[in-house]
Amino acid sequence: MQQESILQVNIPPHQLIVKEDRHGEHDKSLSVILSLITSTSLAMIWKTFPGYMSFMESLAKR
């Protein structure tokens, strides 16, 4: 237990904070990119879906 507390004290706190902040920014940008990809793909599916359904219906009627 004592060794752990000594190790934690040896690391400057501002370095830990900077690392966490950078990691948080990276996660935010990743989540933004992912949300953009999912929203655009969903929008594209939503737009093409009715056309796809009518196309399948026309195939079934043949």
Q: Which residues of 19-44 are buried (b: 16+ CB within 10 A; e: fewer)?
A: eeeeeeeeeeeeeeeeeeeeeeeeee
Torsion angle of C-alpha atoms 26, 32, 37, 43, degrees rounded to 10: 180
Question: What does the pLDDT read at residue 58?
Answer: 92
Q: How many CB atoms lie within 10 A of CB 58?
A: 9
pTM of the model: 0.35
Reading the chain (62 residues) residue by residue, the pLDDT tens digits are 555 555 555 655 565 555 555 666 767 888 888 888 888 888 888 888 888 889 989 999 88
